[in-house]
Protein backbone atom coordinates (compact mmCIF):
# COMPACT_ATOMS: atom_id res chain seq x y z
CA UNK A 1 0.00 0.00 0.00
CA UNK A 2 1.22 3.48 -0.81
CA UNK A 3 2.03 5.76 2.11
CA UNK A 4 -0.29 8.75 2.38
CA UNK A 5 1.16 11.85 0.73
CA UNK A 6 0.68 13.80 3.89
CA UNK A 7 -0.07 13.00 7.51
CA UNK A 8 -0.24 14.96 10.71
CA UNK A 9 0.29 13.99 14.33
CA UNK A 10 0.89 16.01 17.46
CA UNK A 11 4.63 15.89 17.08
CA UNK A 12 5.34 15.66 13.39
CA UNK A 13 3.99 16.51 9.96
CA UNK A 14 4.99 14.28 7.09
CA UNK A 15 4.77 14.85 3.36
CA UNK A 16 6.14 13.10 0.31
CA UNK A 17 7.03 14.88 -2.94
CA UNK A 18 8.53 13.90 -6.29
CA UNK A 19 11.46 15.89 -7.64
CA UNK A 20 11.95 15.58 -11.38
CA UNK A 21 15.47 16.82 -11.98
CA UNK A 22 17.95 19.05 -10.19
CA UNK A 23 15.93 22.23 -10.83
CA UNK A 24 13.01 20.90 -8.80
CA UNK A 25 15.27 19.94 -5.91
CA UNK A 26 16.64 23.50 -5.89
CA UNK A 27 13.08 24.85 -6.08
CA UNK A 28 12.11 22.88 -2.96
CA UNK A 29 15.15 24.40 -1.23
CA UNK A 30 13.89 27.85 -2.17
CA UNK A 31 10.37 26.99 -0.97
CA UNK A 32 11.69 25.95 2.42
CA UNK A 33 13.96 29.00 2.59
CA UNK A 34 10.81 31.15 2.85
CA UNK A 35 9.89 29.46 6.14
CA UNK A 36 13.18 29.92 7.91
CA UNK A 37 13.84 31.88 11.09
CA UNK A 38 16.98 32.28 13.19
CA UNK A 39 17.60 29.20 15.31
CA UNK A 40 16.16 26.75 12.78
CA UNK A 41 17.68 23.39 11.87
CA UNK A 42 17.08 21.63 8.55
CA UNK A 43 18.65 18.20 8.07
CA UNK A 44 19.39 16.65 4.66
CA UNK A 45 19.56 12.88 4.48
CA UNK A 46 20.12 10.61 1.48
CA UNK A 47 22.87 8.59 -0.19
CA UNK A 48 25.93 10.11 -1.91
CA UNK A 49 24.77 12.14 -4.90
CA UNK A 50 21.13 12.25 -3.77
CA UNK A 51 20.92 16.02 -4.18
CA UNK A 52 21.43 17.31 -0.63
CA UNK A 53 23.90 19.98 -1.73
CA UNK A 54 21.70 20.90 -4.72
CA UNK A 55 18.87 21.52 -2.23
CA UNK A 56 21.15 23.56 0.06
CA UNK A 57 22.40 25.62 -2.90
CA UNK A 58 18.81 26.48 -3.90
CA UNK A 59 18.01 27.44 -0.33
CA UNK A 60 21.13 29.60 0.18
CA UNK A 61 20.77 31.35 -3.20
CA UNK A 62 17.28 32.52 -2.14
CA UNK A 63 19.12 34.96 0.12
CA UNK A 64 22.34 35.34 -1.89
CA UNK A 65 21.55 35.22 -5.61
CA UNK A 66 24.35 33.78 -7.71
CA UNK A 67 26.45 32.86 -4.66
CA UNK A 68 29.02 30.14 -5.12
CA UNK A 69 27.84 27.33 -2.82
CA UNK A 70 30.48 24.60 -2.78
CA UNK A 71 29.92 21.29 -1.05
CA UNK A 72 31.28 21.46 2.52
CA UNK A 73 32.53 17.87 2.23
CA UNK A 74 36.13 18.80 3.10
CA UNK A 75 35.70 22.04 5.04
CA UNK A 76 32.79 20.46 7.05
CA UNK A 77 31.24 23.91 7.50
CA UNK A 78 30.59 26.78 5.07
CA UNK A 79 29.01 29.91 6.50
CA UNK A 80 27.00 32.56 4.67
CA UNK A 81 25.99 35.98 5.96
CA UNK A 82 22.58 37.00 4.67
CA UNK A 83 20.46 40.04 5.45
CA UNK A 84 18.24 38.00 7.75
CA UNK A 85 20.55 35.52 9.50
CA UNK A 86 23.76 33.62 8.98
CA UNK A 87 23.41 30.19 7.40
CA UNK A 88 25.72 27.39 8.42
CA UNK A 89 25.91 24.69 5.75
CA UNK A 90 27.44 21.61 7.34
CA UNK A 91 28.45 18.24 5.86
CA UNK A 92 29.27 15.68 8.53
CA UNK A 93 30.12 12.81 6.17
CA UNK A 94 33.80 12.90 7.11
CA UNK A 95 33.23 13.33 10.83
CA UNK A 96 34.92 10.47 12.66
CA UNK A 97 33.21 10.67 16.04
CA UNK A 98 30.04 12.33 17.24
CA UNK A 99 32.17 14.04 19.92
CA UNK A 100 33.90 16.07 17.16
CA UNK A 101 30.64 17.92 16.57
CA UNK A 102 31.28 20.13 19.59
CA UNK A 103 34.42 21.51 17.94
CA UNK A 104 32.40 22.78 15.00
CA UNK A 105 30.66 25.38 17.20
CA UNK A 106 27.17 24.59 15.94
CA UNK A 107 25.63 25.81 19.21
CA UNK A 108 26.66 29.31 18.20
CA UNK A 109 24.92 28.82 14.85
CA UNK A 110 21.68 27.93 16.60
CA UNK A 111 21.75 31.06 18.74
CA UNK A 112 21.23 33.40 15.78
CA UNK A 113 21.54 31.46 12.57
CA UNK A 114 20.11 28.66 10.49
CA UNK A 115 21.73 25.26 10.44
CA UNK A 116 21.59 23.11 7.30
CA UNK A 117 23.11 19.69 7.98
CA UNK A 118 24.04 16.99 5.45
CA UNK A 119 24.67 13.53 7.00
CA UNK A 120 22.96 14.45 10.32
CA UNK A 121 23.13 10.81 11.50
CA UNK A 122 26.81 11.48 12.30
CA UNK A 123 25.67 13.76 15.14
CA UNK A 124 24.14 10.98 17.18
CA UNK A 125 21.53 12.30 19.57
CA UNK A 126 22.75 15.90 19.52
CA UNK A 127 20.15 17.10 17.00
CA UNK A 128 17.55 19.65 18.15
CA UNK A 129 14.11 18.08 18.68
CA UNK A 130 12.45 20.90 16.73
CA UNK A 131 13.66 20.49 13.18
CA UNK A 132 12.79 19.87 9.57
CA UNK A 133 14.11 16.59 8.20
CA UNK A 134 14.45 16.31 4.41
CA UNK A 135 15.05 12.71 3.30
CA UNK A 136 15.88 12.18 -0.38
CA UNK A 137 15.32 8.71 -1.84
CA UNK A 138 14.41 6.97 -5.06
CA UNK A 139 17.79 6.98 -6.75
CA UNK A 140 17.71 3.38 -7.94
CA UNK A 141 14.89 3.95 -10.39
CA UNK A 142 16.56 2.74 -13.57
CA UNK A 143 14.06 4.31 -15.94
CA UNK A 144 14.59 7.90 -14.76
CA UNK A 145 17.71 8.61 -12.77
CA UNK A 146 16.92 12.31 -12.40
CA UNK A 147 13.85 11.58 -10.33
CA UNK A 148 14.00 11.65 -6.56
CA UNK A 149 11.38 10.99 -3.95
CA UNK A 150 11.67 13.34 -0.99
CA UNK A 151 10.09 12.92 2.39
CA UNK A 152 9.79 16.02 4.51
CA UNK A 153 9.23 15.46 8.22
CA UNK A 154 8.53 18.51 10.33
CA UNK A 155 9.25 17.74 13.98
CA UNK A 156 8.24 19.48 17.19
CA UNK A 157 7.48 23.18 16.73
CA UNK A 158 8.09 22.81 12.97
CA UNK A 159 5.00 20.56 12.66
CA UNK A 160 2.57 23.46 12.96
CA UNK A 161 4.67 25.81 10.84
CA UNK A 162 5.51 23.99 7.65
CA UNK A 163 2.15 23.64 5.86
CA UNK A 164 1.61 22.05 2.47
CA UNK A 165 4.77 22.24 0.34
CA UNK A 166 3.25 20.77 -2.81
CA UNK A 167 3.22 24.21 -4.47
CA UNK A 168 7.03 24.30 -4.39
CA UNK A 169 7.41 24.27 -8.20
CA UNK A 170 5.61 27.58 -8.54
CA UNK A 171 7.65 29.27 -5.82
CA UNK A 172 10.22 31.88 -6.64
Residues 145-164 that bind ligand ATP (CB under 6 A): 146, 148
CA distances from 92 to 28, 29, 78, 124 (A): 22, 19, 12, 11
114 has which bridge partners? Answer: 87
Q: How far is the CB of 21 from ligand ATP (least distance, A)?
A: 5
Residues 111, 159: Cα–Cα separation, whole Å: 21
Candidates 20-28, 29-37, 82-90, 108-116 — which segment interacts with ligand ATP by CB under 6 A? 20-28
* Interface with ligand ATP, residue 118, by CB under 6 A: yes
CA distances from 172 to 25, 35, 59, 111, 162 (A): 13, 13, 11, 28, 17
Nearest CA to 127 out of 153, 147, 150 is that of 153
The nearer residue to Mg ion, 71 or 82, going by C-beta atoms, is 71
* Interface with ligand ATP, residue 21, by CB under 6 A: yes
* Interface with ligand ATP, residue 133, by CB under 6 A: no
Residues 36-65 that bind ligand ATP (CB under 6 A): 46, 48-54
Residues 125, 98: Cα–Cα separation, whole Å: 9
Residue pair 86/112 in contact by the 8 Å Cβ criterion: yes
* Interface with Mg ion, residue 93, by CB under 5 A: no
* Interface with Mg ion, residue 71, by CB under 5 A: yes
Q: Which residues bind ligand ATP (CB under 6 A)?
A: 19, 21-22, 25, 46, 48-54, 71, 73, 91, 93, 118, 146, 148
Amino acid sequence: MLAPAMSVSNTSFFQCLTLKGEAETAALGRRIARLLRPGDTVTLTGPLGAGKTVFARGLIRTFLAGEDVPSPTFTLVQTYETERFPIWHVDLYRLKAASEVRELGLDEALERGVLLIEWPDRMGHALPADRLDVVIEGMDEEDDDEERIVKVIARGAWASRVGDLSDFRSGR
